[in-house]
Amino acid sequence: MHPTRRFAPAAAMAALLVLAPSAAATAGGKGGGPVPADSLRALAARQHLRVGTAVDAAQLGANQAYTGLVADQFSVVTPENSMKWEAVEPTRGGYDWAPADQLVQFAEQHGQEVRGHTLMWHNQLPAWLTAGAADGTISDAQLRDILHQHITDEVSHFRGRIWQWDVVNEVFANSWDTALPNGLNSGDFWIQHLGQGVIADAFRWAHQADPKALLFYNDYNITGEDGTNTKFTAVYDYVKQLRAQGVPIDGIGEQGHLDTQYGFDAQRFQNDLQAFGDLGLKVAVTEADVRTNVDNATAQVPTSQLAAFAQPYEFSEELKGCQLVPQCISFTAWGVYDGDSWIPGTFTGEGYGLLYDVNLKPKPAYFALQQDLAVGAGSAHRGDRD
């Protein structure tokens, strides 16, 4: 049984925005001042929810407008790339923690939490590791020890400073992959080399290194984005088993990458998040963006007016799905602005997917989220988010 989606009508939203009493000022804004009362983070705080962004280490500090927005608008940050394996251990045994350390320090100075991302993933592995595994100079037994060491070293390095860790990323099959009977991706690098038992072990190793961090499984298309619930069901059944076996998994991250050309079933999104919550797990939206076709890649102008309307709708529905599920503890956009998004480089002809435009000006999607948070702050719907 799942609650039906219920939200205040637009008129009430507008009234709330105008009448909202000044939010308890949250310290941590740019320059160390209070954050704006109508910022996403201040409004979300009133609902015991954190709203976040992925942060590009190269822009933090270097781009003042960008840095100010990160500080003022968001209460949880994810390193977009700087905690990935290729970034932290580019040569075997040669660690470079500096960019990730800077972000964690920035977060602590600005009253923000950190989502650590990510420990076991098939992408953005260092070349020394993939080459060694491919040519046999790293045996599977050694690879297992290397993974164990990597998880232990990275989680220990940041012990006590990470709120949620994406321990395992994207190991389930999509419709275009080859699936094992339980829906895991048989072609996944880690499953191929080490077998599926390594998933549970990754969570155990992370838990040993930082018993207080919340440990997440993170993936995309696990809330019906492809029009089916196949991947959701596989993940649901699998994590239910992990829980029954006492594996220390605390949450599910739904990445939330949407594309206006595919449509979006908001009710299913909410229901699936709720189903994970009902397993006793926390949930989070971890990488939200809504891409669309653009007719000017540099200026990031959407091709049709329709797309420009669809985006705030879909962003808003994703956020509301989280707001309506008590176990949803954070909502994170995958980047601050369209000038710094992975979308144009990954999806040909698409872009315009974030909350701020190429000039760092807030877009309709930003104002949609602001309204949703203002309304939610006045609702009685509160979960175990602190």
Query: Which residues are identified as catalytic?
Result: 170, 287
- CB of 210 or CB of 287, closer to ligand XIL: 287
Question: What is the DSSP secondary-structure string of 180-193?
Answer: PTTSBBTT-HHHHH
Q: Binders of ligand XIL among 119-148, rule CB under 6 A?
A: none
| Closest approach of ligand XIL to the CB of residue 255, in Å | 6
x-or-dash pattern for ligand XIL, window 316-345, by CB under 6 A? --------------------------x---
Among 75, 81, 260, 292, binds ligand XIL (CB under 6 A): 81
User: Quick one: 46 or 291, whose CB is closer to ligand XIL?
Assistant: 291
What count of Cα atoms within 13 Å lies in the side-chain half-sphere of residue 366?
A: 21
Parallel, antiparallel, or unpaired: how do β-strands 76-79 and 251-254 relate? unpaired
Checking phi first, is residue 346 left (phi over 0); if not, alpha (psi -120 to 50) or beta? alpha
Distance CA 147, CA 205 (A): 10
Smallest distance, Å, CB 118 to ligand XIL? 6
At position 337, the amino acid (one-letter code) is: Y
Q: Does 112 bind ligand XIL (CB under 6 A)?
A: no
DSSP character for 34?
B
Total residues at interface with ligand XIL (CB under 6 A): 6
- Residue 230 has, within 13 A of its CA and on its CB side, a CA count of 16
Minimum Å gap between C-beta 208 and ligand XIL is 24
Report, in Å, the least distance between residue 335 CB and ligand XIL: 7
Nearer to ligand XIL, 39 or 164 (CB): 164
DSSP 169: E
Binding to ligand XIL in span 164-183, by CB under 6 A: 169
Q: Which residue is nearest to ligand XIL (CB)?
A: 342
Shortest reach from residue 206's CB to ligand XIL, in Å: 16
> What token pair was written down for 16?
């709330």
Cβ–Cβ under 8 Å, residues 282 and 253: no
Measured from the CB atom, the residue of 81 and 270 that comes closer to ligand XIL is 81
User: What are residue 237's phi and psi, to 5 degrees?
Assistant: -65, -40
Q: Which of 28, 50, 80, 87 binds ligand XIL (CB under 6 A)?
A: 80
Minimum Å gap between C-beta 45 and ligand XIL is 26
Judge contact between 70 and 31, C-beta under 8 A. Answer: no
Q: Could you give the residue ranges of the DSSP H alpha helices within 89-136?
A: 98-109, 127-135
Residue 169 or 271 having the CB closest to ligand XIL = 169
What region, left, alpha or beta, does residue 375 occupy, with left being phi > 0 and alpha being psi -120 to 50 degrees? alpha
* Smallest distance, ligand XIL to C-beta of residue 332, A: 11
- Per-residue string for binding with ligand XIL, 233-272, x by CB under 6 A? ----------------------x-----------------
Q: Which is nearer to ligand XIL, 23 or 333 (CB)?
A: 333
* 78 vs 371 by CB, closer to ligand XIL: 78
| Backbone region of residue 179 per phi and psi (left: phi > 0; alpha: psi in -120 to 50; beta: other values) | beta
The one-letter amino acid at 272:
D
Q: Is the distance from CB of 341 to CB of 287 less than 8 angstroms?
A: no
**Alpha carbons 146 and 138: distance in angstroms, whole number:** 9
Question: Is the torsion defined by CA of 67, 68, 71, 74 positive or negative?
Answer: negative
Please give the residues from 268 up to 307 whose contact with ligand XIL meets the rule CB under 6 A: 287
Binding interface with ligand XIL (CB under 6 A): 80-81, 169, 255, 287, 342
